Amino acid sequence: MRYAIVYVSTANKNLEKAEIKKILSSSKKWNNENDVTGLLLFSEGNFFQIIEGEKKIITDLFKNINADDRHHNILQIFGKDIHREAYDGYEADFVSDEAYFDPEKFQHYLNQIKVLDNPSQKAVENILKAFLIY
Ligand SMILES: Cc1cc2nc3c(=O)[nH]c(=O)nc-3n(C[C@H](O)[C@H](O)[C@H](O)COP(=O)(O)O)c2cc1C
């Protein structure tokens, strides 16, 4: 059974840019090695993440993430069973330096969430829009 969790969180104030890049790159590496797909974005002091994969792997990973003191205000948007196989790898990106909304990138991110059912896709799309534009 595959499972997906989507959440947003606030990065700790003292978190250096280099530390954030390290989180993004180590997550990408571990997730790709463990068949975890999804998206991790950092923008304006906040994280937005989708993790999708084998249920136990995802719930254990989320416990780790929850306990990580590099961020707080972890707000889970949903956690649900997924009935379609993921088809893409893991994306980790820094969007804070983007002064404008890049439709191509947005479309690319949307492709990452195609494993979700329609209402969930819509919800994530709206959050992504808010996350990337403001
Ligand atoms: C916002 C955020 C997102 C993270 N996402 C992942 C992730 O997707 N995959 C991952 O392996 N670690 C991720 N981590 C790091 C984990 O919290 C944790 O450090 C990692 O699982 C290693 O745990 P361990 O030191 O107990 O082995 C994330 C950390 C933060 C702050």
Is the alpha carbon torsion for 9, 12, 13, 15 positive or negative?
Answer: negative
Span from the CA of 31 to the centroid of ligand 1 (angstroms): 9
Using alpha carbons only, give the angle 96, 93, 9 rounded to the nearest 5 degrees: 70
Q: Is 49 in the pocket of ligand 1 (CB under 6 A)?
A: yes
Domain ranges of the chain: 2-133
Q: Is 41 exposed, middle or buried (0-12, 13-18, 19+ CB in 10 A)?
A: buried
- Does the CB atom of residue 61 touch ligand 1 within 6 A? yes
State the pLDDT at residue 95: 63
DSSP state, 84?
S
> What single letter denotes the amino acid at residue 124?
V
How confident is the model at residue 94, as a pLDDT?
A: 65
Which pLDDT belongs to residue 113?
77
- For residue 52, pLDDT beyond 60: yes
When the pLDDT of each residue in the chain is averaged and rounded to a whole number, the result is 84
pLDDT confidence of 59, banded at 50, 70, 90? very high
Q: How far is the CA of 70 from the centre of ligand 1 (A)?
A: 10
Q: How far is the CA of 65 from the centre of ligand 1 (A)?
A: 5
- Considering only the top CATH level, what class is 2-133? alpha beta
Model pLDDT for residues 78-119, shown as the tens digit of each residue: 899 987 765 566 777 766 544 455 677 778 778 777 778 888
